[in-house]
Copies of this chain bind each other. A is one copy, B any other.
């Protein structure tokens, strides 16, 4: 299968217009579109072909409220680490779209999958987490290609989220994701636009 310039151009569009979204319209996402995203995750790379990612779609209002409370707690503590103008700048950032996003996904890593038979992770057991991250990034790109925005919320306490969602003890939280239709489109990261952190180029050395 030889891919051509049209593939490269399309991928470039998807990569350029993928954003970490925090402002969502309330419009629901149809189940068949979510099923497509799930199918895209099936195509993600994983160590030993172990596919250790476990997705939990959070629809319960009580559980969503508990997640939001944990975010607000963690965010307040994070804000306290800054002082002066940086603290003011932090407080002005909107760092999660938990209230508005129609779809909440908690993505866990199973640390004892039967699949893969341990291959490729003896010296680097973190490969299981990394496989889940690759699946999440696959989901992100497939969502963007279908004009669905996604935001990755990392300002939470992983153990707390596991408890809220009754996750098995062999799972750890890799990401808490918000999905929905983005309020606006942008080809530039919000943190660059808001002067928190400008884009920097990839460092690439040769030895």
Q: Could you list which residues of chain A lie within 8 angstroms of chain B, going by C-beta atoms?
A: 1-3, 6-18, 20, 38-45, 47-51, 53-60, 63, 74, 77-78, 81-82, 86, 90, 93, 95, 115-124, 126-127, 129-130, 133-138, 140-142, 144-147, 152, 154-158, 165-166, 174-175, 185, 187, 189, 191-192, 196-207
Contacts and interface: CB of A to CB of B under 8 A. Distances in A.
A45 B18 contact: yes
A205 to B, nearest CB: 5
Q: How many copies does the complex hold?
A: 2
Nearest to A153: B120
Given A42-B202, A48-B191, A126-B129, 12 more contacts: A1-B187, A8-B145, A11-B141, A11-B145, A42-B199, A49-B189, A49-B191, A119-B196, A119-B197, A133-B137, A134-B136, A137-B137
Contacts of A39: 202
